[in-house]
Structure 1
């Protein structure tokens, strides 16, 4: 269903682009081709049709977008609707500051070479 609505929105958006390109803000555009007074569709009627088609397609796109969001199934990763009984997510972006750093007075010994076990020196 969402795919059908998305396809309709895309088709309406393409039609809206074409209708807006046909219009001319100065009163020309598609209406300028019908300058004869005995035309089947007069200049005024063509302008009215193009304007109504523009508004109609814009409203259609807005309504279909809202409908598409309303019928969208909720997913598990949706943060707006928490799942009851799910563990609380931890914020991994904050570094863990609970560990302590080694003191600057301690020295580290180099790693032993080979497979020989390290034994402390006998005293």
Structure 2
């Protein structure tokens, strides 16, 4: 149970960090590496918004599953 609680806390912290990195208007890391498309292609940040969205959904799903599992164990 202790390991499960530590995993839940770790995933929650990671989820907070990922959400805070995202820009609510869609800019996020894409706008941080320059404003032009060419700069984003060179820096490799052209698809960073898609990656952050996938990471957010994955961490949210893991958090939900682990909390449900913790509830069933107790």
How high is the TM-score relative to the length of structure 1? Answer: 0.52
In structure 2, the partner of 1:41 is 44
CA distance in 2, matches of 1:18, 1:51: 13
Residue 37 of structure 1: CA displacement?
A: 4.0
Q: 1:19 aligned to 2:22?
A: no
> Whose RCO is larger (CA < 8 A, sep 6+)?
2
Q: 1:66 to 1:47 in 2, by over 3 A?
A: same
Residue 38 of structure 1: CA displacement?
A: 3.2
Q: 1:4 to 1:56 in 2, by over 3 A?
A: same
CA distance in 2, matches of 1:15, 1:21: 10
- Runs of at least 4 residues of structure 1 off by over 6 A? none
Q: Size of the alignment, in residue pairs? A: 70
Larger Rg: 1
**1:58-111 Cα shifts (integer Å, max 9, x gaps):** 000000011111122xxxxxxxxxxxxxxxxxxxxxxxxxxxxxxxxxxxxxxx
